[in-house]
A and B are shown apart, each in its own frame.
Chain A
Amino acid sequence: MRPAWLSPRRLREAGVLGMNCRNIEFIGRYNPRSKFPLVDDKLKTKLLAADYAVPTPSLRLVIRQQHEVADIEDMLAGLDSFALKPAKGSGGKGILVIDRRKGSHFIKSSGALIGITDIQRHLSNTLAGLYSLGGVPDVAIVEDLIEFNTCFDGYSHEGVPDIRVIVFRGYPVMAMLRLATHASDGKANLHQGAVGVGLAMDSGRCLNAVQFGETLTRHPDTDRLLGDIVLPQWRDILVLAARCYEMTGLGYMGTDIVLDGSRGPQMLELNARPGLAIQVANGHGLLPRLRHIEQLRERRLTSVDDRVDYATQHFAEGASF
């Protein structure tokens, strides 16, 4: 039986990055405060991504004022499926995903039926800042839904799986796939019960999978073997993640990427304070990899391709990190 607590020494040996260390030595040191708004505001991120030709789900509507909420039915007229997001939301809060319509009603990804008044209330809450960091007034954005990629058949309950890649000074250092479950209510957040699948940096193959901090081998809802997962277009995913470094200038960030069925990897959002659960999903601590990148001579490798090559070689499955 594994112990329920580990000693600080064991954690240090496993190279686990703790929250205090992350905040002071990585976020505090490598993420300039002035760059935070670029990623804390999804609208800014999307506009910036368009400048750098980083693919993202296309933006359909921006709702900025409370009076626009009354006309939302007309504005949504041409859209059968869409995702409604608060621009400054965090942790997946306040995201409403509509799969299709049924008469005058909308069907959420969970299958629940909602009316236009529910959408209006959700919009009002969003604009008032209910879901935003610090409760500041916000804007709402409506974007296209991601087309489900068939490679995830049987691996996801309700939501679209997304891939979190930690990018440190432009190098992808660690990655995981997040699968929504019934317990997580279609959300891809690990602390809400989503399954986290650690991915090998060289191949995109499953290394290890966890739910609620415990290792598991099969998807809890569909019973499919998680060990069989190998992500297609793996190199494209890593390149997309690495390109976000040039785009934002943030030294330590989490990039959330989805695989669209027809359009390939799309950048969904960026995070300047990425969580630590990725280490549990991988069964590896982040610290040795971060320290390794830290002591690299600056600007030795500048192109995105070189950095991805470096990461796939040095952080490969079975390598010393």
Chain B
Amino acid sequence: MSRRLTFRLMVISLALIGVLIAGLRYMETGIPLVPGQEAEVWLVEARVDFIADGGAITASLSLPENPPGFELVDEQAASAGYGFTLLNHNGDRRAEWTKRSANGPQSLYYSAQFIAGDRATEAPGNRMEPRVIPVFWNDAQLTASRELLARARSTSSSATSLARELIKLLNGTPPDQNTALLLSQPGSTAELLMQLLNQAGVPARLVMGLHLEDARRRQRLAPLVEVHNGDDWLLFNPKTGETGVAPTLLLWHQQGKSLLDVTGGRQSSVSFSMIRQTVPARQLALTKNSDTLFSRFGVHRLPIEEQSMFKLLLLLPLGAAVVVFMRVLVGLRTAGTFMPILVSLAFMQTSLLPGLASFISVVTIGLVMRSYLSRLNLLLVARIATLIVLVIFVISLLSVIGYQLGYSTGMVITFFPMIIIAWTIERMSILWEEEGPREVLVQGGGSLAVAVIAYLLMQLPLLQHLSFNFPELNLVLLAVILAMGQYTGYKLSELRRFHAMGDDG
């Protein structure tokens, strides 16, 4: 009996410690308990990778300065052993890392915080005098570009409408001969559009923008084109023809020579990670710079790339608690104990309905294929390996079909853990052969129900906010899981299972 008492005390003290630390953190840092009260802050981290040749290194990265719609609050650079300076030359802001000698793969980090701000602020790049950049084509390209420009010009009246017509022509499917010829040269559509406009005598320039999306890693800049209409620079999306700066678009590189220059290294590239926070910017800045215990051991101290991963990781205990609840208290049968959590994590990336549709279709197609495989008389390991390969084919096929039908959501299936899907298909198929389709539906439905419930909880902004900013609250979840682990009462499903026992006394 006393062992039971210590267990209870432990559970209660775990929960209390969690709440207590969260309370202290709240008082110390002032991070709000509910999300959405404050302006959003975007933490963006640029990571420059290259391979050093052994000599002196100079790496310089173009930086945004008051990009339209955002305000730069704070910036830092982190790179071991490198000298770091911020240079500003005629509105061209650059970060420069220098080192006497380095060898092998190098990673340099620059991170900055932006607050969504006034959209009307004038970007310094806009003050730049519009200027037509000379374009050089070879003969064939020259003819093709003239042809294309003539067609666009005949249906337009101004610089902006010319740009719009050109975008339409460049994105026409199938592209006509002239467009195809021009597109076959190296470089993006944006670059081609910029060149065509300059050839027509309209000042245009290439800019690089970053699409902000919460908890994304390894993102690249998207090339866009700015066109001068006589008074102002206007931003065009070279794929869709949309004008203006979208609220989630951060203009990173507006002018100047290049985005990234590395001397003394090769294979250089830059990628971006970002994360959205609902913490007041100034408080965050304070927290970062102060030396309290909480700021030292907060998740906020990690590089942003890791932070976005933690955002997902810290939600996992919630999913685990849902699985325990559904299996111990409700008595739902699932295929594979924690498979539903992995599926619900995939739902977090894909959003619910496309995720459900693609999961069900992949598993169904997989089951059909598996029924053929069972006739081939394969060894188990080989059969599952075959299934993994087939699942990858199915997923690629569905992605391509989805893309052709115009759903970019076709791609979402790639978020599902392939190996788990292959095992699920194998288990389901064995279940089908031995227990019949009813059991497959029961267990498959049970797994999906748990996955959906876990997803619905994990996507609540409040729970996301709490689990990330107050990670110690997961101790409370741990206490709940422990308590459920000692539950000896009936499951909900047993109330029905033993209903025949109501006959006697």
A interface residues (Cβ-Cβ under 8 A, vs B): 2-8, 10-14, 16, 18-21, 24-25, 66, 93, 117, 120-121, 124-125, 128-130, 135, 192, 210, 213-215, 276, 279-280, 283-285
Contacts and interface: CB of A to CB of B under 8 A. Distances in A.
A212 B479 CA distance: 38
Contact of A11 (B381, B486, B494): B494
A20 B502 contact: no
B489 A21 contact: yes
B488 A24 contact: yes
Given A11-B490, A18-B491, A18-B494, A213 B377 contact: no
Contacts of B494: 11, 16, 18-19, 276
Contact of B499 (A6, A20, A93, A283): A6
Contacts of B500: 2, 210, 213-215, 280, 283
Interface in B488-505: 488-491, 494-505
Interface residues of B, number: 27
B504 A6 contact: no
Nearest to B490: A18
Interface centre among A14, A19, A21, A121 (most CB of B within 10 A): A19
Contacts of A5: 495-496, 499
Contacts of B176: none
Contacts of A213: 497, 499-500
A11 B503 contact: no
Contacts of A18: 488-491, 494
Contacts of B497: 213, 276, 280
A192 B433 CA distance: 12
Interface string B428-468: 00100011000000000000000000000000000000000
Nearest to A277: B497
Contacts of B377: 117, 120-121, 124
B5 interface: no
Contact of A128 (B331, B380, B435, B499): B380
A8 B379 contact: no
B501 A285 contact: yes
Contact of A93 (B328, B434, B489, B501): B434
A8 B499 contact: no
Interface centre among B331, B380, B491 (most CB of A within 10 A): B380
Nearest to A26: B488
A8 B489 contact: yes
Contact of B503 (A21, A124, A283): A283
Interface string B18-60: 0000000000000000000000000000000000000000000
A6 B498 contact: yes
B297 interface: no
29 contacts: A3-B502, A11-B490, A11-B495, A11-B501, A12-B490, A14-B502, A14-B504, A16-B490, A18-B489, A18-B491, A18-B494, A19-B491, A19-B494, A20-B487, A20-B490, A21-B488, A24-B488, A121-B377, A124-B380, A128-B379, A130-B380, A213-B497, A213-B499, A215-B500, A279-B498, A280-B497, A280-B500, A284-B504, A285-B501
Given A12-B490, A280-B500, 9 more contacts: A11-B501, A14-B498, A14-B502, A14-B504, A18-B494, A121-B377, A124-B380, A192-B435, A213-B497
Given A14-B505, A117-B377, A124-B379, A20 B498 contact: no
Contacts of A3: 499, 502
